Structure 1
Amino acid sequence: MKKVENEEVSWTICPECQGRGKKSRGLSKKVRLRYQLAFDQFEKTKDEGIAPVRPKGHLHSCLKCSGSGLVHSASPPIADKENYPHVAIIGGGIGGVALAVACLHRGIPFTLYERDSNFDARSQGYGLTLQQASKAIEGLGIFSLEQGVISTRHVVHTTEGKVIGEWGNRKWIQSEAKTSPKRSNVHIARQSLRLALLEQLGGQDALHWEHQLVDFAACEDGGVDLNFQVDGKMKNYKADLVVGADGIRSSVRRLLVSDDITPLRYLGCIVILGICPLSALEGPHSSLLDSATVFQTANGNERIYIMPYTADSVMWQLSFPMPEKEAKMLSAQGPRALKEEACLRTQWHDPIPPILAATQETQISGYPVYDRELLSSELLAKAGKATLIGDAAHPMSPFKGQGANQALLDALTLARGISRGCRPLSQWRKNGIRESVLTKFEAEMLERSATKVKDSAAAAQFLHSEIVLHEGDAPRGRCLKKKEA
């Protein structure tokens, strides 16, 4: 991600690539001739066999917008209410706010609803790692993250402190190995990223706070009626498209797809999270706490993962197998019990015990880990003028760090799909928003996220087994795949 300052400017889609960030190079003469010959041969056989698929030109990054899909604008685009659908976004988390930002840049009218009373109403998660999405956020008008921290080293230890795996930029530089360029992982507090996205919308007033969705239904004029509970009263709103971005226990998903069909699936372990300022640690600091190193320690049952949270603090994530009933009970007992359990299980090498001991109870939380069975396109096809993104569509365990990444990609992809599928003269109102936009979007989203869900579920198992102790300079999942191969 570019290390430049975010400018206080408005954005609109790039006229060269129409906000996609990529342009087609077109087909070479050789490819066009080959396709034409194959098509002519198909026609000569009186349509027997399978018709050749018309090739697509290779895509390249748009030079005008440097691949972001955005260019500067004197003011935010005016919402085009005549041509575009009005989008009701349910959920003001990372995915919902990102979708609102992407709609803003494209002049797509939207309203963003959130059940919480304000930005800090409840715990909003801890740190997250931007992987694929570190590039995607440029498509949301964010070209630098002031609070973001880039890690350049990842180390895996046994509980005695023996290094059994190491990788990252510093490892490659030290070894002088010939490797292809690697992307950097950007670590940032979830709330910091959420705030950066909200700033694109002009601040927190862009959300309709304290709006709890009750139900919605298609109405005779072709739109959707939505009912919310607001301060003990019912309020009605209208939209053309409803997008559920309201998390793993999504109200929108429950209304579209019964929880009986795709219930929460317990992944057999609990996670305890904490944030510790480096200033709270006494004595000399470990080289692992240089604000650029991620490290994990495991014994085949418990596993702790510690990463930079800000330039002067770290986030830790301890996880271990536990029956669901016990995991729920421990979580319900609150931060003190969670901290005691964490400290008891991690009398390991430094600096782990001091970090956990110095973490204040107010900075600790814990929960059983769940996901859901993968949705199918057939299930969503019945959703009509509604769809899902992020954890509402494909919840996954936190062990691959993919939840926020996939939500950001979903948001940008959906906004681009609306911009393309509902452009003037598209007749989307006649053909329906599902045929014009949603079917293609959902197929792409489900295909992209499916491997992430599966890999995250698998990680919940192998990170708490002997496999994690395999010696090798690569992520544990990659080691497992090599062994299986």
Structure 2
Amino acid sequence: MGQGSFHVTIIGAGLGGLCLGQALRRRGIAFDIHERDPALTARPQGYRIRIDRVGREALAACLPSNLAALFHQTCAAAGSPGRFLDPQLAPVRGRSVATWHDAAADRFEAEGDLSVHRVTLREILLTGLEDRVRFGHAFARCEPDPGGGLCVQFVDGGAVRTDLLVAADGAGSAVRRQTLTDAEPADTGAVCLYGRVTANAGVTRARALLAGPAVIFADGFAAILDPMTFRPPPVGTAAAGITPVGDYLYAAFIGPRGTIGFGEVLPPPGSALLAERLHALVRAWHPDLRSLLGPTEPASLAVLPIRSAAAIDPGAWPRDVTFLGDAIHVMSPAGGLGANTALADAAHLASRLGEAASGEAALSEALATYADDLHRRAAAAVRASADAAAALFTSAPTLLTTV
């Protein structure tokens, strides 16, 4: 390759990896993406994601204008800024934290959070990158290449030579486990049980009852409920590979394992035990809430352990390898920062790599600048997420009363 030219291999086609791919394509930087799953929708991966100002700015920086507009057009329509309630639907005060923001009243306004269906966002991020992404291609190991850079080997026996390896393969990152052996995330002892109700009548009723997204503060845990309602998709989205999504009520219960009702071994997605736990958690709740959550689809339910990773000194990072998203800074979902931080990582890394490609900086210098910036941002996000988790798990909410 000529001066300033290099090749990037991205491991992981999640939000961060695909967002980085979009940004590299816009900059004319050679790259490929390798994903261990056989397809984009091969396993349960959650439903609703809140995209805050940081995430919105990152998407705007990385996506071409048509895809940035499509992101906004496919977001759910917010009914209200959001409410804090107790299980009997009484308002609660004094439980918000700095990372929680009001929902955007309009999908194009400058401030406020947006809610998007996770698969829809991944499909948008994949658009135009289909020839750069190899599904069913699991990372095995990497080692120095005799000609410089790295030789990346895959489980199926294939291999590629690259100048930079980007680990974007999530909390269980195989790249991190090989290259940063002391950086395994810690189990926080908390879990997130999530699922959805797709009956349209129920979603309409949820919007009337909750007036939009709501956090329900129970005894030692919390539930996030968000009625996701969508306008008709723009003409041509199905032909472009964007799967139509019907309205649904998103529900997530977050708290310590014992409080939510699980031991060390968690049931698999769709297990009948998950539906039993959900109904047990809401047994004493207001009848209207129980009736909303009663038809939660058993097949949609999954429970995940919540892990957290302390900020890792970039001085320990191996040469020719860098990281983004949960692969390096997994955090509690309580703060709503994980996906947004990953998108910001992609935008920052692409910007630095753009400087290296244009000759403004050496590749090693650009990577060092990115790593220092990520270390600072990730440390703040992990701390804020831990604070948000503490606010969710407090046992005694303060009811909002009128005088």
Whether TM-score is above 0.5 comes out as yes
CA spacing shift, 1:221–1:205, aligned 2, 3 Å:
closer
**Correspondence 1:209-228 to 2 at 5 A:** 209-228=135-154
2:160 corresponds to 1:243: no
Pick closer, same or farther for the CA change 1:284–1:456 going to 2, 3 Å: closer
1:86 maps to 2:7: yes
The residue aligned with 1:363 is 300
Given residue 138 of structure 1, which amino acid in structure 2 is its aligned partner? A
In structure 1, C-alpha distance between the alignment counterparts of 2:176 and 2:333, rounded to whole Å: 20
Distance 1:270 1:420, change over 3 A: same
Q: In the alignment, is the contact (CA less than 8 A) between 2:88 and 2:286 conserved in 1?
A: yes
Q: Which residue, 267, 273, 286 being the options, matches 1:349? A: 286
Aligned to 1:229: 155
> Would the alpha carbon gap of residues 243 and 110 (structure 1) be closer, same or farther in structure 2, given more than 3 Å must change?
same
**Which of 285, 291, 296 is equivalent to 2:215?**
296
Counterpart Cα distance in 1 of 2:77 and 2:200: 20
**What's 1:447 paired with?**
376
Larger radius of gyration: 1
Tell me by how many angstroms 1:138 deviates: 1.4
What's the CA shift string for 1:207-248, capped at 9, x where partnerless? 111111111112232221111122xxx111111000000000
TM-score between both structures, scaled by the size of structure 1? 0.70
Q: 1:460 aligns with which of 356, 374, 389?
A: 389
Is the aligned partner of 1:105 residue 2:26?
yes
- The more displaced of 214-223 and 184-193 is 214-223
- The aligned amino acid for 1:404 is A
User: Could you say which structure has the greater relative contact order, defined with CA pairs below 8 angstroms and 6 or more residues apart?
Assistant: 2
Tell me the residue number matched to 1:269: 190
Structure 1 CA distance, aligned partners of 2:366 and 2:219? Answer: 46
What pairs up with 1:395-474 in 2 under 5 angstroms?
395-424=330-359, 428=362, 433-434=363-364, 436-466=365-395, 469-470=397-398
Equivalent in the alignment of 1:60: none
Distance 1:170 1:406 in 2: 19
Moved more, 84-93 or 145-154: 145-154
Q: Indicate the residue corresponding to 1:392 in structure 2.
A: 327
Distance in 1 (alpha carbons) for counterparts of 2:332 and 2:343: 17
Q: Aligned-pair distance for 1:466?
A: 3.3
Report the RMSD for the aligned CA atoms in angstroms.
2.7
> Is the Cα–Cα contact under 8 Å of residues 90 and 399 in structure 2 kept in the other structure?
no
What letter corresponds to residue 349 of structure 2 in structure 1?
Answer: L
Q: Offset at 1:300?
A: 3.1
Q: Deviation at 1:187?
A: 0.3
1:12-411 matched pairs, under 5 angstroms: 83-131=4-52, 132-139=54-61, 140-141=63-64, 142-145=68-71, 146-151=73-78, 152-165=80-93, 168=102, 183-201=111-129, 204-230=130-156, 234-258=157-181, 261-279=182-200, 281=202, 287-288=208-209, 293-311=212-230, 312-323=247-258, 326-332=262-268, 334-347=270-283, 348-380=285-317, 383-411=318-346
1:87, 1:243 within 8 Å by CA — same for their partners in 2? yes
Cα deviation, residue 334, structure 1: 4.8
Relative distance call for 1:110 and 1:360 in structure 2 (3 A) is same
Amino acid at match of 1:302: F
Whole-angstrom CA distance in 2 between matches of 1:97 and 1:342: 33
Shift of the 285–412 alpha-carbon distance from structure 1 to 2, 3 Å rule, reads: closer
> How many Å apart are 1:417 and its aligned residue?
0.2
Output the TM-score relative to the length of structure 2. 0.84
CA 1:169–1:464 in 2, change beyond 3 Å: closer, same or farther? closer
Offset at residue 454 of structure 1 (A): 1.2
SS at match of 2:265: helix
Q: Is the 8 A contact 1:339 1:356 kept in 2?
A: no
Q: Structure 2: which 5+ residue stretches go unaligned?
A: 231-246
Over the matched positions of the two proteins, sequence identity in percent amounts to 25
**Corresponding letter in the other structure for 2:69:** F
TM-superposed CA distance for 1:135, in Å, is 2.4
Displacement of 1:150 after TM fit? 4.5
Contact 1:267 1:460 in 2 (8 A): no
Task: Output the CA distance in 2 between the equivalents of 1:85 and 1:442.
Answer: 18
1:424-473 Cα offsets, whole Å, 9 max, x none, are 475x3xxxx32x21111011011112111112123223311136x13579
**C-alpha distance in structure 2 between counterparts of 1:286 and 1:408, whole Å:** 29
Change (3 A) 1:442 1:399: same
Q: State the one-letter code of the partner of 1:186.
A: L
The aligned amino acid for 2:24 is C
Question: Which of structure 1's runs of 4+ aligned residues deviate more than 6 A?
Answer: none
SS of equivalent to 1:183 = coil
Q: Which residue of 2 is the match for residue 18 of structure 1?
A: none
User: How far 1:282 sits from its partner (Å)?
Assistant: 9.5
2:308 & 2:224 partners in 1: Cα distance? 20
What SS is found at the alignment partner of 1:466? coil
Gaps of 5+ in 1: 1-79, 172-180, 474-485
Post-superposition offset of 1:286: 5.4
Q: Which amino acid aligns with 1:353?
A: R
User: How far 1:351 sits from its partner (Å)?
Assistant: 3.7
**CA deviation after TM superposition for structure 1 residue 99, in Å:** 0.6
